[in-house]
Every structure is written in structure tokens, then in C-alpha cells.
Amino acid sequence: MAAEPTVREAKLIQYLNEAYGKEKELETALRAHIAMTTRDAYKKRLREHLKETSQQAKGLERRIRQLGGRAEAMDLPGPDVASEAAGKALAAARKGVALAQGPLQALRGTGEAERLLKNAKTELFNEFEEIGNYLAIEELATALQDRDTARLAKEFRRQEERMASFLQRLIPQLTKQVVREEIPAAQRKAPAPATAAARKPAARKPAARKPAARKPAARSTTAARPARPKRS
């Protein structure tokens, strides 16, 4: 009977299992996105990354076994459980692709370009999650002096970073295509600014001046002199 993993090994297995589950999830998503993609270069890159994703899942599974991993010990979905779940999800995804004009497309936008754009945004989100997974595994393994696991995580992280870079270049292209397909040409520019005459406020008329108040005449302060008598 195989010995139970140590605390050190159990923590490594936990992180590897988390990454493994994500890879199996993305195998399903990538197959569905490939079936929906009409751009040749995009489809080709998705196929290449699907191959990388499948190889990553196998590499993770192999490393988990080398560490003596057992899903029961970790109370986490292990390779066998994840594989079964992925198979069920794949069947559902294929059914959704077959109903391309149904609810799946309705949720993915009104036009082809927008559906591709939404897929690419979802893929980029997933790539960054995977980069985070592998960065954590690499640092954990380095701290625990597990060179094999650290090397594996570093290799897989770089693959995810290359895919993320591709998507970051693709998303602006797809966004511009959405503009061309869904926004009328006449509405693609900002409205013309108002003319200077329209922007200038109406001149305000000067307020009518009130007539100045008349000052009362100054009262003389000199005393009145008595009349001088006439000489005879």
C-alpha cells in the first residue's frame, strides 16, 4: 500500500490538481470556440493552444502521480474525476455548437464578430487565471525545493503568456470589426460640435440707469443783515 503524501507533497498536489481541473475545463471550452470560429488565423491558434492544453493536462497528471497524489486524500477532484466531468461538459458543448442559431449564439452577441470578441475576452480571462495558477505553483515548488514541479510550472506559464499576448492583439481587431458590422457608418464619428454662433450666449442688454437723485439746495448759514436807514 502506497504511503500517504506528506504535508509538503499534499500542498503541491493540491495546487497541481487545481491547475489540472482548469486545463480539463479549457479543453472543452476551446473545442467549442474552435467550432464557432471563422477567422483562419484565430482558428489555427486555438487549435495549437488546444494541443498545448491537452499536453499540459497530461503533464500535470503525471506529476501528481509522481508525488503520490490521490484525489481522495486531498478531497479535491483528481484526474479521473475531472476527466469524467470534462467528457460530460464536452458533450453538452457540442450540442450547443450544433444549435448555433439558438440560445448559445443569442448569449454571445448579435453578430459573428461580437460572438468571436466575447469568446476571445473569455479566453483571455482564462489565460490570466492559468498564469496565476502556474505562477503560484512555481513559487511554491521553488520554496519547497521541488525543481521538477517548478520547471513544469514555468514552462506551462510561458505557454499561457504567449496565448494571452495573442489574444491581447486579437481583441482590438475584433472590436473594430464589431464597429464595422454593427454601427452605421454615419454614426461612427462623434456628433459635430455646435457652431460658434450657437455656442455664444445671447448678449445681455445693459440695465437701464435710474436718474440720479437731485440734492436739495444748500441752506445759507449767513445771518440776514438789517436794512440801513435812509439819510434825510
Domain assignment of residue 207, yes or no: no
**Which CATH number do you get for residue 169?**
1.20.1260.10
Lowest model confidence (mean pLDDT) among 101-105, 178-182, 212-216, 221-225: 101-105
CB of 13 within 8 A of CB of 74? yes
Higher-confidence position of 59 and 1: 59
Residues 47-74 have a mean pLDDT of 85
Any domain includes 196:
no
pLDDT bucket at 152, cuts 50 / 70 / 90: very high
> For position 3, what pLDDT does the model report?
75
pLDDT greater than 80 at residue 219: no
Task: Find the domain containing 176 and state its range.
Answer: 7-187
Q: Is residue 194 assigned to a domain?
A: no
Q: Count structural domains, the chain.
A: 1
Tell me whether residue 218 is in a domain. Answer: no
Which residues, at least 6 apart from 199, have a Cβ–Cβ distance to it below 8 Å? 193
- Does residue 208 lie in a domain region? no
Q: Give 108's pLDDT tier (boundaries 50, 70, 90).
A: very low
Q: What is the pLDDT of residues 141-151, one digit of tens each?
A: 999 999 999 99
Question: Between 86 and 51, whose confidence is greater?
Answer: 51
- At 103 the pLDDT is 44
- The pTM (predicted TM-score) of the whole model is 0.68
* Any domain includes 213: no
Q: Is the pLDDT of residue 124 over 50?
A: yes
Q: How confident is the model at residue 91 (pLDDT cuts 50, 70, 90)?
A: low
Asked if the structure places residue 199 within a domain, the reply is no
